[in-house]
Amino acid sequence: MPTPTLDQLRRYAIARTLFKPTTLKRAIERLGFVQADPIRAPARAQDLTLRHRVKDYRAGDLERRYPKLDIEEDCLVNYGFLPRATLALMHPRAAKRAWNAETAARAQELLAFVRERGVIHPREVLAAFEHGRVPGYWCGELNASTQLLDGMHYRGLLRVVRRDNGTRVYAVNEHPEVDDSPAARLERAGRLVDLVVHKYAPLPSASLGYLVQLLGYGAPHLKVEARQALAKARAELPQVKIDGTSWLWPAGEAPASRSHKTDAELRLLAPFDPVVWDRRRFELFWGWAYKFEAYTPAAKRLMGHYALPMLWGEQVIGWANVRVQDGALVPELGFIKSRPRSAAFGLALDQELERMRVFLGLGA
């Protein structure tokens, strides 16, 4: 197998994840995981990710079609959507911090309430229980019942059956028994490591280590086994060292193949798109640091509130902050160097903005 260059790794990274648009179910299966984010700028991150990979995708299609798809809202390296079969690799999930006796009793009482009704909206829980309020993450307070629902979902006691105007609606989650022997735990951890390698490859070895740390969110009870699986992956996966960085990718794939070609389209990518998610890899590929600044004070932002990296061909040449104003799409563009003056760039940008309008349902 030929030794790939950095340019070939970049083309391979783009080509393997920006595959020909397919069905929503197949796209999620192929990606393995789609990160979610509640900010709409101009749409949620999961929609912005899927629009490049699902034929005729429209903003909100994932939420609308979710109940009929064999997928789940759950945690992997962060929160998002994944094939239902993947849950068996992470559940039963033991949280890092155990509930006290009072909270555990409340959870069992609430679980019985949900089981009796079949499907519940959080407002039904708030009407039936008075659990009080608890400290929030940002110095405020949260309703204790809402937080308890979140904790039960994380621990696998509940599953999200749908969303009503963005609010999660729950049902009891029944899990099949799993083999919890040391060998079976190591096998599950290995499959989780394989999943993140497949999603984010090719990736620097250090980035794989960071992703395995993040698996502590989705599978905290497999922390030791995940480290063992990481060591095995680093020893066995195909890899190359370029300028001091070790790169890894799934067995059986050929990064140096001439079949990895990029097209002339311009794409505005979500901040969590697989092409740009790994900031270390991003800087190695394109020579500049992309910053996600939605939670940065406005006065300190360099790229804007929700900068969408601008991929043209195989180069990320800048970013765009896109908003909808009076029913029209308003893009604000930024470039690492100067704006390309070619007619080809202007046409590619116009085509992408038109695709964005259709995706958002703005029409002509």
pLDDT tens profile 81-102: 999 999 999 998 988 889 999 9
Residue 82 within a domain: no
| Domain's final residue, options 135, 155, 172 | 172
The enclosing H or E element of 330 equals strand 328-335
Residue 166 within a domain: yes
d(CA 244, CA 364) in angstroms, rounded, equals 49
Which is more confident, 233 or 2?
233
CA atoms within 13 A on the CB side of 198: 15
Domain count, the chain: 2
d(CA 204, CA 199) in angstroms, rounded, equals 13
> What is the phi-psi region of residue 197: left when phi exceeds 0, alpha when psi lies from -120 to 50, beta otherwise?
alpha
Residue 220 within a domain: no
The residue among 343, 306, 266 whose CA lies nearest residue 42 is 306
C-beta neighbour count of 97 within 10 angstroms: 8
pTM (predicted TM-score): 0.93
Residue 141 within a domain: yes
Output DSSP code: residue 158: E
* pLDDT for res 135: 57
| Domain's final residue, options 127, 150, 172 | 172
DSSP 172-215: EPP------SHHHHHHHHHHHHHHHHHHH-SEEHHHHHHHHHHH
Residue 111 within a domain: yes
Q: What is the pLDDT of residues 282-329, one digit of tens each?
A: 999 999 999 999 999 999 999 999 999 999 999 999 999 999 999 999
Residue 31 within a domain: no
* pLDDT for res 131: 61
| Domain's final residue, options 172, 195, 218 | 172
Q: Domain of residue 129: give its range.
A: 101-172
CATH number of the domain encompassing residue 105: 1.10.10
